[in-house]
């Protein structure tokens, strides 16, 4: 069971803004470790979407943004498009586990 908790699914209409939460604890996000986000189409490799809480790698649209506060982080997607239908995973480091960990993943559905 992941110690980073994400909602199993979120949905939104085209053009809308959706957010995906990632709730951790004092041994990971709350300890100050960065949160990173990945985008995955089932059957393919994950792709880095956001690193260092709120930074976008080259080629990632500005519609994607990240934030972190306390023991939680969020991924926001504005101007939702049909091609945004992916699974999204948050990732951080946990001092209790002494290792990297992923959230359980969130499936985004564009209505």
Number of residues that bind another protein (CB under 8 A): 28
Using DSSP, state whether 86 is helix, strand or coil.
coil
* Binding of residue 58 to another protein (CB under 8 A): no
Query: Considering beta carbons, is residue 31 or 76 the nearer one to another protein?
Result: 31
Distance separating alpha carbons of residues 13 and 81, to the nearest angstrom: 8
CA distances from 97 to 12, 47, 58 (A): 35, 24, 31
Query: Considering beta carbons, is residue 16 or 109 the nearer one to another protein?
Result: 109
- Among 3, 33, 68, 86, the residue binding another protein under the rule CB under 8 A is 33
Query: Considering beta carbons, is residue 63 or 87 the nearer one to another protein?
Result: 87
Tokens read off for 61? 């649209």
Distance separating alpha carbons of residues 4 and 103, to the nearest angstrom: 4
Binding site for another protein (CB under 8 A): 2, 33-34, 36, 38, 40, 44-48, 51-52, 55, 57, 89, 91, 93, 95, 97-105
């Amino acid at each position: 069971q992941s110690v980073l908790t994400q909602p199993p699914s979120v949905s939104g209409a085209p053009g809308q803004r959706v957010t995906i939460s990632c709730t951790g604890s004092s041994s990971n996000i709350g300890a100050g470790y960065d949160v990173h986000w990945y985008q995955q189409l089932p059957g393919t490799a994950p792709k880095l979407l956001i690193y260092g809480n709120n930074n976008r790698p080259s080629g990632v649209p500005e519609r994607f943004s990240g934030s972190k506060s306390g023991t939680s982080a969020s991924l926001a997607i504005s101007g939702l498009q049909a091609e945004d239908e992916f699974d999204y995973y948050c990732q951080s480091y946990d001092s209790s586990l002494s290792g990297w960990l992923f959230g359980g993943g969130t499936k985004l559905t564009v209505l």
